[in-house]
């Protein structure tokens, strides 16, 4: 079913009745734009349980916009298989139906932080972490590593995963929260390069001041078959407690000329660095934004919800080409206290040298004690639109959660909101809810993949929307 929205900014939302499963600024501005009030059709049920799926990512294939690949971390109740592993989800019909593909896990490691990107030739890259005995000091043969696996058939099968770092018989240091990016710019000398950034803990969870966290990065120039040596960015570290004072949330983004940009959170607020030589060297990091309350945000009935930044760049031929964006959540509208988290965006039109004031993206009443959280962003490489997805608790008594898409076509200066979920849900505190959502935009198409809680499991829902390319 395809439904056209009657709105000044018209859009198409592609839905289905069938889904298959086989397997440094302190001031802030507010977005001056109204919310879309139309009733949208229900999103697609990608999974319905009984396994729980969280921490979604999604990517639209630039060579075939009907081909979209998502990923999630899945908790499996079957005792015959590893309890936590990764799945990918594939649609070939623009989101009308989805197939689930269990990812190989030959060593039976705990897998997590799965994410997918697709390059300009349609090659799919899946990055993930794999570890054993992180919290079991008596465990035999502990290990911690980070991997990328690539697929040339749309994500149906993958080449053997390539470890770009792997510690055998040790979990120190511990490698955590990898996230990939791919250079799609036709004008970049590094087009097709794959970048992965992550956090290294010298000893995960250690309260000792002798233990720290740092941001690292690798890159590949040959389709993910080999990777550079891990590079520690020239930036201060954080503690090893996996909280506000830990440095985390680095997401690499390539600009039109191949410059790579990255922001992350930590004890000094949101820091930023860039590389002008394809990731080989990086400028000294500096703080560009404050983050009142830190990135480790407590959401009532959920627990921790990270507000770490997402970095993206406009590589389109539009009027905002080259603009760099950073999207995050924080508590500045509640004096840094939990209970009223909001979603923000800052932009730079000079390669990160200067930044706009933070713009509040969500458009519910200011200071209403309602949380918005788990934000993620995608900037369309064709039309330059800025697209942000997040959970939202503005409705009802504030317990139920909806999913919103906010979209800007004027370089992140104003946004229009769309409620893309069909019914609210209340997260089940007995189940891990993950750390992030997924969104991808290309050629006016926007695909979102998120976790939705039911009484039986955390399941996946998807929405695919088509906007006119201006």
Give residue-wise pLDDT tens across range 338-395: 999 999 999 999 999 999 999 999 999 999 999 999 999 999 999 999 999 999 999 9
Q: Give the model's confidence band at 25: pLDDT under 50 very low, under 70 low, under 90 confident, else very high.
A: very low
Rounded to 10 degrees, the C-alpha dihedral 42/43/46/50 comes to: -50
Q: Give the model's confidence band at 132: pLDDT under 50 very low, under 70 low, under 90 confident, else very high.
A: confident
Residue 442 has pLDDT above 50, yes or no: yes
What was the pLDDT predicted at 463?
Answer: 97
For the segment 422-427, the average pLDDT, to the nearest whole number, is 92
Q: Give the model's confidence band at 31: pLDDT under 50 very low, under 70 low, under 90 confident, else very high.
A: low
Write the CA distances from 32 to 29, 235, 285, 408, 410, integer angstroms. 9, 35, 32, 11, 12
What was the pLDDT predicted at 409?
Answer: 98
Residue 28 has pLDDT above 80, yes or no: no
What was the pLDDT predicted at 50?
Answer: 87
CB 352 within 8 A of CB 281: no
Residues 145, 132: Cα–Cα separation, whole Å: 9
Residue 155 has pLDDT above 90, yes or no: yes
What was the pLDDT predicted at 84?
Answer: 63
What was the pLDDT predicted at 345?
Answer: 98
CATH assignment at residue 6: 2.120.10.10
For the segment 138-146, the average pLDDT, to the nearest whole number, is 83
Residue 22 has pLDDT above 60, yes or no: no
Give residue-wise pLDDT tens across range 251-284: 999 999 999 999 999 999 999 999 999 999 999 9
Give residue-wise pLDDT tens across range 164-214: 999 998 889 999 999 999 999 999 999 999 999 999 999 999 999 999 999
What was the pLDDT predicted at 106?
Answer: 74
For the segment 401-422, the average pLDDT, to the nearest whole number, is 97
Residues 318, 468: Cα–Cα separation, whole Å: 14
What was the pLDDT predicted at 49?
Answer: 84
For the segment 97-123, the average pLDDT, to the nearest whole number, is 90
pTM above 0.75, yes or no: yes
Residue 23 has pLDDT above 80, yes or no: no
For the segment 149-177, the average pLDDT, to the nearest whole number, is 94
CA 145, 74, 103, 45 torsion: positive or negative? negative
Residue 37 has pLDDT above 50, yes or no: no
For the segment 280-300, the average pLDDT, to the nearest whole number, is 96
Q: Give the model's confidence band at 440: pLDDT under 50 very low, under 70 low, under 90 confident, else very high.
A: very high
Percent of the chain residues past pLDDT 90, beyond the cut: 75
What was the pLDDT predicted at 82?
Answer: 52
- Residue 443: which domain range? 2-466
Phi first, then psi, for residue 117 (nearest 5°) are -140, 160
What was the pLDDT predicted at 231?
Answer: 98
Domains of the chain: total: 1
What was the pLDDT predicted at 441?
Answer: 98
Q: What's the start-to-end Cα distance of the chain, in Å?
A: 24
- How high does pLDDT run on average in the chain? 89
Residues 157, 151: Cα–Cα separation, whole Å: 6
Give residue-wise pLDDT tens across range 61-80: 999 999 999 999 987 755 44
CB 274 within 8 A of CB 286: no
């Amino acid at each position: 079913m395809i439904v056209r929205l009657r709105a000044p900014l018209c859009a198409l939302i592609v839905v289905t009745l069938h889904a298959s499963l086989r397997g440094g600024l302190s001031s802030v501005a507010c977005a001056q734009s109204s919310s879309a009030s139309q009733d949208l059709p229900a999103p697609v049920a990608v999974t319905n349980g009984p396994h729980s799926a969280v921490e979604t990512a999604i990517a639209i294939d630039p060579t075939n916009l009907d081909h979209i690949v998502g990923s999630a971390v899945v908790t499996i109740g079957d005792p015959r298989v590893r309890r936590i592993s990764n799945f990918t989800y594939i649609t070939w019909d623009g989101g009308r139906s989805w197939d689930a593909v269990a990812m190989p896990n030959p060593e039976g490691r705990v897998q997590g932080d799965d994410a997918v990107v697709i390059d300009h030739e349609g090659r799919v890259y899946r990055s993930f972490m794999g570890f054993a005995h992180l919290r079991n000091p008596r465990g035999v043969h502990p290990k911690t590593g980070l991997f990328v696996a690539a697929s040339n058939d749309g994500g149906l099968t993958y080449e053997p995963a390539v470890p770009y770092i792997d510690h055998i018989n040790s979990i120190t240091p511990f490698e955590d929260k990898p996230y990939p990016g791919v250079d799609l710019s036709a004008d970049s000398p590094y087009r097709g390069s794959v970048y992965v950034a992550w956090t290294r803990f010298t000893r995960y969870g250690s309260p000792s001041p002798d233990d720290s966290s740092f941001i690292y990065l690798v890159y590949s120039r040959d389709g993910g078959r080999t990777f550079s040596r891990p590079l520690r960015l020239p930036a201060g570290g954080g503690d090893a407690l996996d909280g506000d004072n830990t440095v985390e949330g680095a997401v690499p983004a390539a600009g039109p000329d191949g410059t790579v940009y990255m922001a992350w959170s930590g004890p000094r607020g949101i820091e930023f660095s860039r590389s002008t030589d394809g990731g080989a060297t990086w400028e000294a990091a500096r703080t560009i934004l404050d983050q009142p309350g830190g990135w480790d945000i407590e959401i009532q009935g959920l627990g921790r919800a990270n507000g770490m930044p997402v970095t993206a760049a406009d590589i389109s031929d539009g009027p905002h080409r080259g603009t760099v964006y950073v999207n995050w959540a924080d508590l500045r509208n509640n004096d840094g206290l939990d209970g009223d988290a909001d979603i923000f965006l800052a932009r730079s039109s000079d390669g990160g040298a200067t930044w706009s004031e933070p713009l509040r993206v969500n458009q519910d009443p200011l200071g209403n004690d309602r949380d918005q959280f788990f934000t993620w962003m995608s900037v369309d490489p064709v039309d330059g639109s800025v697209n942000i997805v997040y959970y939202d608790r503005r409705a009802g008594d504030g317990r139920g959660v909806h999913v919103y898409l906010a979209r800007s076509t004027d370089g992140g200066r104003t946004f229009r909101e769309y409620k893309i979920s069909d019914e609210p849900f209340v997260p089940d505190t007995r189940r891990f809810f993950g750390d992030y959502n997924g969104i991808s935009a290309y050629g006016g198409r926007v695909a979102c993949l998120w976790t939705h809680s039911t009484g039986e499991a955390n399941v996946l829902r998807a929405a695919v929307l088509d906007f006119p390319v201006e």
